[in-house]
Amino acid sequence: MKAHISIATDRLVLRTPEEEDFEPVAAFMASERARFVGGPRSDRFDTWRGFLSQFGHWGLRGYGLFTITLKGQAIGRTGLLNHVMWEEPELTCHIYDARLEGVGYGTEAMRAARLWAWEAHGLNRLASFVHPDNGAAEGMLLKLGAQPERETQLLDRPVKLWRHPEARP
């Protein structure tokens, strides 16, 4: 994996993932909250392989998912995915605990990750792929200035492609 990257926002720190992040990821992926991102998934080995793919993203692409921390505790992930079956890089975010929704952590984290994608990699006007029933994600994307662009398929499932505004400061 590449060098450790850390981005501080007003309330959060986004950092490259570490092995200690697996347990919060496993708990999230086993929960109903993961229903829009391939869960719930109770097979820890399958979850471990998915977790390891984050490190592969960082190694191969120079970007991936950041761990979102609040006062040193992992509360979610945000960053870029670009699996071979994706049309283009995706900006995504998962907040692990519903009690932490609605206070702007996801929006704050995605805004920082979006700016970093532009500054570090020249990636601009990113996409987010959202399940049609994920109203919380759509609300967050609207706060970030993203707009629905079209319906498409991802992993043989219907999704909406949302387009982010230019990230340039």
- Which whole-number Å values give the CA distances from 46 to 55, 65, 93, 103, 167, in the listed order? 15, 18, 20, 31, 34
| 18 is a domain residue | yes
| 1 is a domain residue | no
Backbone angles phi, psi at 135, to 5 degrees: -65, -30
Number of domains in the chain: 1
| 27 is a domain residue | yes
| 168 is a domain residue | no
Residue 74 region, left (φ>0) first, then alpha (ψ -120 to 50), else beta? beta
- pLDDT, averaged across the chain: 89
Tell me, what amino acid is at 4? H
Residue 2 has pLDDT above 60, yes or no: no
Domain with residue 73: its CATH number is: 3.40.630.30
In the prediction, which pLDDT does 39 show? Answer: 61
Residue 61 has pLDDT above 60, yes or no: yes
Residue 113 and residue 23: Cα distance in Å, rounded?
23
Domain span at 104: 6-163
